[in-house]
Amino acid sequence: MAKRVPLIAGNWKMNKTVKESVELVLALKQKLSDVKEREILVCPPYTSLYAVKENLKNSNIKVGAQNMYFEKSGAFTGEISPLMLKDIGCDYVIIGHSERRQYFGETDDSVNKKMKVAFENGITPIVCVGETLQQREKNEAFSVIEKQIKIGVAGLSGDQITKVVIAYEPVWAIGTGKTASPQQAEEIHAFIRKLYFEMYGKDSSEAIRILYGGSVKPDNISEIMKQPNIDGGLIGGAALKADDFIKLVSY
């Protein structure tokens, strides 16, 4: 089976000034320089991206954005384009986070457009999927996630299909302190891999990385990462403190 390198990603959300961002990444850079066989990613707010990227030159920490628009340029007040992220040197971009879906009108179709444009510009998309509590209680988790993935990755090329990172983030576990149990998370991750197998075959399903996100903390990450189909974490709150993020990366 293809070896999947674990990806530990921090989604800083709407937190940190430029100065605070630089302080945090300088601490991470120093303490995480020896980490091997693990991919490390930070996703600061747009205003900090450039400074963070500059300060992480020659380090093993990659930089990603939390969103982007799907047009290259033009009259789209307030938006950020893939060209701008490429210019900064972003390696990744988070697409379709549940907070974008919930508060800013992101849909599966806009997610799909953004995924394609990200790849066209050499940026790897991390597509977020996950059910709300209400959907889980109505036994709709599998069908919701299946739809999000099928539309989200529609039309990508063979190579892109495998490079995509999928993040399973149950909405009820985000910022609530309520993580999915490792078994609950594994059940969905296994389902996503099986779905990928049915859609794209064995090689793609074994290569695709699926992250878990939702109240991942230093004290629960090891159990989560022991699950066979979990390939990393997308971490919110605990990624904002150097000590916590260092522990998470070194789980």
Residues near ligand 13P, by CB under 6 A: 11, 97, 169, 174-175, 213-216, 234-238
| Residue corresponding to tokens 């090329």 | 157
39 or 169: CB nearest ligand 13P: 169
Residue 1 burial by CB count (10 A; 0-12/13-18/19+): exposed, middle or buried?
A: exposed
Pick the catalytic residue from 39, 97, 106, 186: 97
Q: Report the b/e string of 10-43 with b at 16+ CB within 10 A.
A: bbbbebbeeeebbebbeebbeebeeeeeebbbbb
| Residue corresponding to tokens 């490792």 | 182
- 8-state DSSP, 58: T
Least Cβ distance, residue 126 to ligand 13P (angstroms): 9
Tell me, yes or no, if 189 is annotated catalytic: no
Strand runs labelled E in 38-155 = 39-43, 61-65, 92-95, 124-129
Phi-psi region of 86 (alpha: psi -120 to 50; beta: other; left: phi over 0): alpha
Least Cβ distance, residue 174 to ligand 13P (angstroms): 4
98 or 205: CB nearest ligand 13P: 98
149 or 216: CB nearest ligand 13P: 216
Residues 59 and 76: their CA atoms lie apart, in Å, by 34
- Which residue minimizes CB distance to ligand 13P? 236
Q: Determine the Cα angle at 211 with ends 205 and 215, to 5°.
A: 155
CB atoms under 10 Å from CB of 213, counted, come to 27
Least Cβ distance, residue 197 to ligand 13P (angstroms): 26
Residues 159 and 166: their CA atoms lie apart, in Å, by 15
Tell me, yes or no, if 206 is annotated catalytic: no
199 or 217: CB nearest ligand 13P: 217
Pick the catalytic residue from 106, 131, 169, 186: 169
Least Cβ distance, residue 28 to ligand 13P (angstroms): 17
Least Cβ distance, residue 170 to ligand 13P (angstroms): 10
43 or 205: CB nearest ligand 13P: 43
| Residue corresponding to tokens 């990227």 | 53
45 or 205: CB nearest ligand 13P: 45
Least Cβ distance, residue 179 to ligand 13P (angstroms): 8
Q: Where in the sequence numbering do the catalytic residues fall?
A: 97, 169
